[in-house]
Amino acid sequence: MTMQMHPTLALGLALGMAVVRGQASAAPEDARSAILKAQETQASMPAYKVEYRANDLPNGETVTSTLIFVSPDRYHSIDHEGPATEVIRIGKSGWIKIGHAAFERETFDSLGILTRFRGPTLINDPRYELMDARALGPAKIQGRETLAYEYAMSGRGETSRIRLWVARDTGLPVRATDEFGNDVVKQRISWDIEYDATLTVTPPSFSAEGAALDALWLLFDECRTLASSELHAKPKAEFELGMATLERCVNAQPQDPIGFVVLARLLWDKAYRDPGLEDDEKLAHLEWGLRCTGRALALKKDLFEAILWRGLLLRVKAKVVSNEALQRQLDAEADALRDQVKRLRSEGALPHPDLEPGQWPQPPSR
C-alpha cells in the first residue's frame, strides 16, 4: 500500500509540526530554543516560496510542488505531478485549476493548513511533543552558512524525524526534511524555503462570463459572512447596507426559497432584539420578513423553516400592533403555523443544510 497525501496538505502538516513546542522534553534547552526561535522568525516574514518534495519510501514515487505564501492569508500552490493542480487561496475565497482547464471556484476551508503553514498558533499544540532536540553543527546549503538541528516529533500515532537548517545570517529556516510513517509505510518530505517580500498572490483572471460568475461567488461569500454575523446589533446604516447585499444574493437566485428564509430570520432578529426600534420601524421589518416567507412558501409550500419563521414574525407583530382584534387574529395564525411545524417534524421533516447557523445558499455553478 502506498501512502498518499495531497502535497499542499502534507506541506502544511510538515511545516506545522516543525514549530510545535513539546510539553515535556529531555532535549537540551538551547537546541529547542533555537529551533523555536527560527520558526517564530519565519512566521513573522511577509512572504516566502517553498519548493516541496515528497517521496514514498517503499516504491520511490515522488511528488513535487511549489507554494507561495503571502501574509496573512494568501497562498498559491502548484502540484507538478500528473495533471498539474493549481490552487489559489485568498482569505475565504479559493480557486482551483486542474491540467489545462480554467480556474473554477473551490469551496473548501484551508484555515487549518494555513495555520500550520504559518506556525505560531501550533507552538503550544498539546497533540504533539517535541523530543530529543540537538544541534548537528554548521553546514552549507546552496552556498549559505547554516546551523543544522535535529529533533523528533511525536503525536497522533506517528513519530517524525525532522532536520532543520537555519541560515546563520538571518536566523531563518532555509531547508528541512521530515520522515514519518510506520513500519510498513513511510514518507520522506523535504522543502527549501526562499524569502522574498515582493512575492504576490492575486485572484485568477477570467473571461467576461467567468468574471461575472466569480463576482457572484464573491457576493455570496460576503452574504455567508453577513448571515452568520450579529447583523441586528449593527448600527442602522450598516444593517441596511448588509440587508441590501443579502437581497442582491436572493434576487440572483429567485427560484431558491432558502435565501428568502434567511432574510426573514434576520428581519425577525432585528424586530425582536433591537430595543432601539420604534414600533413603525419594527412593523416595516416584520412586513418585509412576512413577504419573504410568503415568497419562500410559494416556491416550496412545506418548507418548515419558512413556516416556523412566518409564525414567529406574526407573533412579534401581534405584540406591536395596538388593535386587539388584529392581535387575536395574528396570534391565531401563529398558533396554526406552530401546529403545522410540529406536524411536519413528527412526519420526519429535516432542517435544510443551508439553513444551519452561518450558512447561505450556494451560488449558481458554471
| pLDDT tens, position by position, 233-265 | 888 888 998 899 888 888 888 888 988 998 999
| b/e 195-217 (16+ beta carbons within 10 angstroms → b) | beeebebeebebeeebeebbebb
CA dist., res. 17 & res. 153, Å (int): 7
CA dist., res. 350 & res. 344, Å (int): 9
What does the block give as the cell for 234? 449593527
> Are the CB atoms for 93 and 108 separated by under 8 Å?
no
Q: Where are the domains of the chain?
A: 7-195, 208-355
Q: What angle do CA 280, 282, 283 make, to 5 degrees?
A: 65
Q: Computed over its alpha carbons, how large is the radius of gyration of the chain?
A: 27
Nearest partner of 269 among 227, 214, 330, 331, judged by Cα? 227
Confidence at residue 279, expressed as pLDDT on a 0 to 100 scale: 94
91 phi-psi bin (left φ>0, alpha ψ -120 to 50, beta other): left
Per CATH, the architecture of 208-355 is what? Answer: Alpha Horseshoe (1.25)
80 vs 278, higher pLDDT: 278
Nearest partner of 121 among 43, 177, 191, judged by Cα? 43
Per DSSP, the residues of 164-199 read: EEEETTT--EEEEEEEEE-SS-EEEEEEEEEE-TT-
CATH code for the domain defined by 7-195: 2.50.20.20
The residue-averaged pLDDT of 215-224 equals 71
What does the block give as the cell for 343? 406536524
Task: Establish whether domains 7-195 and 208-355 are of one fold.
Answer: no
pTM of the model: 0.56
Confidence at residue 126, expressed as pLDDT on a 0 to 100 scale: 67
| pLDDT tens, position by position, 287-317 | 999 999 999 999 998 888 999 999 999 999 9
Confidence at residue 336, expressed as pLDDT on a 0 to 100 scale: 95
